[in-house]
Every structure is written in C-alpha cells, then in structure tokens.
Amino acid sequence: MTSIIEVRRMFRRREAIALASFALLAVLTLGSSIITSFDWPSCLRSFPKAFSWLAANFIPNGKALANAPKILARLAETVLVSVMATVVAAALAFLMALLGSKTTRPHPVASGLVRLVASLCRNIPVVAWAMIFLLSFGQNVLTGLLALFIGTFGFLTRAFMETVDESAESSVEALWASGAPWAATVMQAVVPSVMPQVASWMLYMVETNIRDATLVGILTGTGIGFLFDLYYKSLNFSSAAFVVICIVAVVILIEAGSNALRRVIL
C-alpha cells in the first residue's frame, strides 16, 4: 500500500531532520565552548556560590543602610535619565513613524530613509553607542542619556510604525477618501487610535532603560551602575546587594504600575 510507505517515509524523514538538528546543535555547542573557553564544571559550581552570596547579603546590614540616601539619590537619577531618554525618543520616533509607516508616509523615499536610520540606531547596541559618545562627552550622565536615547529612538520608531499600520490603516483610508488633509487625518484618526499602544511601549522602554542604564552607568561612571561597581570593587558586598534590591524594587514597581495602567487604557 502506497499510503503506508508514504507514512513510513515521512516518519523516517522527520527522524533524519531531528537527528541532523541535534548534531548541528552539538557541534555548535562544542565549538562555542572551545572558542569562549567555557568551563562547564565551573558553570555548575557557580550556582551555589552565587545564590549563597545572595542569601548572605540579601538582608541589608547597618553599613548598607547607612548608604541608603546615596543609593536612592543615584537610583532617582537613573530613573530620571531613563524617563527622559524615553520621552524625547518617543516624541521624535512618533514623527518619524508617521513619515515611515505604509499608512501615513507622504512618499516612499521618506519611508525608506526613516527605516534605514531606525535600523542603524537599533542594530548598533546601546553599549556601542555609549562607547562612541564616551569619546566626546566623557564620563558624564549625558553620555548614557544620549546612548539610551538613540537606542530607544531606533526601537520605538519601528514599534510605532507597526502600531500605526496595525491600528489606523482603515480609518486613515476612510478619511482620505473623504478628502481630509494629511495633518487633520493624522490628528483625528491616527493619534487617537495609537495613543494607548504608544503609552504602553513607552512604559516598557522606561523599564528596559532602567536596566540598560545600570550597564551604561558602569561604563560611564554615572548613576546607580557606578555606585554598584564602586561597592562591588571595594568588596562592600552588603551595600552592593542593597543596590540590587533597590533596582529590583523600582523595576517591579514600574512593571506592576504599567500592567495596571495597560488594563485601564487598552
């Protein structure tokens, strides 16, 4: 019977694909381990050490609490920088998204240009932008702000373009068919349709930027990242752990807040 033969063949082909994928993964794993000199036993050993460190330092002692005002001030700075980068980037990204999205673009060339710039900003990692700006702005809070701004701009431009195309395409078509001008169409049809999504993306980026700002802060000597690095290198582990606790608290607070908000506005 041909059908049974076919079924058998299908199963055999599936097995072959599975086997080939497995072999490929094994080879890649081996190769990666060699190139990065990755030591698997030490990988396993690192877990108990890291968690016992967390457990030992998780409850802040007097030394850590004495540093609390300094830590909170730095944390506030980091949060502010994240919000500023997000807001300015979002405003610019929204304008670019209007020029770039299929629905509202005034000309295909504008759209192509916007996509190119956004792709450049997004595909060069934030850390690379930070290293670039470090040479002109030095160890300064503006270095991190600029780097976060560029990365956020690239990400949000793409996100907003997709949002505009998804949620405003049909109403824009209707308004253009009725002879409405471009600006009025954007303000009356696009803006009200996309605002909830825009707010949601912005809250997401604030949260992401706080984490990225920590990393950039270590490289540029600013914000909460700098303080963690300082305590960490001077082996003041209880204070370092307290910094981690503060960041976790802020990020979880923001995440919970934005989840609640999303439920109301979406």
CB of 1 or CB of 254, closer to other proteins: 254
Dihedral sign of CA atoms 40, 244, 211, 77 in order:
negative
Shortest gap between Cβ of 166 and other proteins (angstroms)?
A: 12
Shortest gap between Cβ of 46 and other proteins (angstroms)?
A: 4
Shortest gap between Cβ of 79 and other proteins (angstroms)?
A: 8
Shortest gap between Cβ of 88 and other proteins (angstroms)?
A: 7
Cβ-contact 224, 67 below 8 angstroms: no
* Distance in angstroms (rounded) separating the CA atoms of residues 156 and 158: 5
Shortest gap between Cβ of 262 and other proteins (angstroms)?
A: 10
CB of 84 or CB of 110, closer to other proteins: 84
Please report which residue ranges of the chain form alpha helices under DSSP H. 2-35, 40-57, 62-66, 68-100, 108-123, 126-137, 141-177, 182-185, 191-220, 223-233, 237-265
Q: What angle do CA 72, 75, 79 make, to 5 degrees?
A: 135
CB of 2 or CB of 97, closer to other proteins: 97
CB of 48 or CB of 108, closer to other proteins: 48
Residue 30's φ and ψ, nearest 5 degrees, are -60, -50
Cβ-contact 117, 262 below 8 angstroms: no
Shortest gap between Cβ of 215 and other proteins (angstroms)?
A: 4
Residue 211's CB: how many other CB atoms inside 10 A? 14
Q: What angle do CA 92, 93, 95 make, to 5 degrees?
A: 70
Cβ-contact 120, 151 below 8 angstroms: no
Q: What is the dihedral of CA 34, 40, 41, 44, to 10 degrees?
A: 160
CB of 6 or CB of 39, closer to other proteins: 39
CB of 78 or CB of 96, closer to other proteins: 78
Shortest gap between Cβ of 66 and other proteins (angstroms)?
A: 21
CB of 96 or CB of 151, closer to other proteins: 151
Q: What is the DSSP letter of 104?
A: T
